Structure 1
Amino acid sequence: MAAQVLGFVGLGRMGGPMSGRLVEAGYEVCVFDANGAALEAAVGQGARAASSPSDLASRADIVFVSLPTPDIVRAVVLGEGGIASGSRARIVVDLSTSGPRTAKLLAEGLAKSGKIGVDAPVSGGIAGARNGTLAVMVSCPRETYETLEPILKIFGRLFYTGEKPGLAQTAKLANNLLAAAALVVSSEAVVMGVKAGIDPKVLIDILNASTGRNSATQDKFPRAILTRTFDFGFATGLSYKDVRLCIDEAEAMGVPMVAGAIVRQMLAVTNAKFGPDSDFTSIAKVVEEWAGVEIRG
Structure 2
Amino acid sequence: MNQVGFIGLGKMGFPMAVQLLKANYPVFGMDLNQQTMKQFQMLGGVPSTFEEIIHSTQYIILMLPSSRTVNTIIDSLLDIYQSGNLKSKPTIIDMSSSYPEDTRQNEQKLKALGLGFLDAPVSGGIKKAAEGTLTIMTGGKDSLFRECKPLLEAMGSKLFHVGPIGSGHLIKAVNNYLSAAHLLTTCETIHLLENYGVKPETAINVFNNSTGRSGSTEYKFPSFILNNSYQSGFSLELMSKDVKMASRLYEDMGAATAFPQAVCQKLEEAQHALPENADHTELFTYIATYLLTGRNSDEECKETDNRFTAFCTNAQPRSL
TM-score normalised over the length of structure 2: 0.86
1:67 aligned counterpart, secondary structure? coil
Q: Corresponding residue for 1:148?
A: 148
2: CA distance, partners of 1:112 / 1:209: 53
1:88 aligned counterpart, secondary structure? coil
Change beyond 3 A, Cα 1:291–1:140: closer
Q: Corresponding residue for 1:210?
A: 210
2: CA distance, partners of 1:272 / 1:69: 20
1: CA distance, partners of 2:80 / 2:207: 47
The answer to whether 1:21 aligns with 2:19 is: yes
Kindly state the Cα deviation for residue 107 of structure 1 after the two structures are TM-superposed. 0.7
Structure 1, unpaired ranges of 5+: none
Contact 1:137–1:172, Cα closer than 8 Å, also in 2: yes
Greater shift, 267-276 or 164-173, is seen at: 267-276
Q: Corresponding residue for 1:129?
A: 129
Of 61, 72, 81, the match for 2:69: 72
Of 58, 63, 66, the match for 1:61: 58
1: CA distance, partners of 2:279 / 2:207: 23
- Point out the structure with max Rg over C-alpha: 2
Kindly state the Cα deviation for residue 81 of structure 1 after the two structures are TM-superposed. 8.4
Greater shift, 211-220 or 246-255, is seen at: 246-255
Q: Corresponding residue for 1:289?
A: 289
2:161 aligned counterpart, secondary structure? strand
Count residues with an aligned counterpart: 289
Q: Corresponding residue for 1:100?
A: 100
The answer to whether 1:247 aligns with 2:247 is: yes
Greater shift, 268-277 or 138-147, is seen at: 268-277
The answer to whether 1:232 aligns with 2:229 is: no
Q: Corresponding residue for 2:300?
A: none
1:231 aligned counterpart, secondary structure? coil
Q: Corresponding residue for 1:189?
A: 189
Contact 1:66–1:96, Cα closer than 8 Å, also in 2: yes
1:159 aligned counterpart, secondary structure? strand
TM-score normalised over the length of structure 1: 0.92
Q: Corresponding residue for 1:274?
A: 274
Q: Corresponding residue for 2:28?
A: 30
Q: Corresponding residue for 1:161?
A: 162
Contact 2:6–2:17, Cα closer than 8 Å, also in 1: yes
2:29 aligned counterpart, secondary structure? strand
Kindly state the Cα deviation for residue 260 of structure 1 after the two structures are TM-superposed. 1.1
CA-based RMSD: 1.7
2:149 aligned counterpart, secondary structure? helix
Greater shift, 43-52 or 56-65, is seen at: 43-52
2: CA distance, partners of 1:37 / 1:126: 19
1: CA distance, partners of 2:253 / 2:93: 25
2: CA distance, partners of 1:124 / 1:82: 34
1: CA distance, partners of 2:87 / 2:277: 36
Question: What CA deviation, in whole Å up to 9, does each residue of 1:41-88 have, x standing for no partner?
Answer: 111111112122x33111100110101111111112223787867543
Kindly state the Cα deviation for residue 268 of structure 1 after the two structures are TM-superposed. 0.2
Change beyond 3 A, Cα 1:276–1:133: farther
Contact 2:89–2:115, Cα closer than 8 Å, also in 1: yes
% identity of equivalent residues: 28
Greater shift, 20-29 or 107-116, is seen at: 107-116
Question: What CA deviation, in whole Å up to 9, does each residue of 1:123-175 have, x standing for no partner?
Answer: 0000111101111001111111111011101111100012x211111111111
Of 40, 45, 48, the match for 2:46: 48
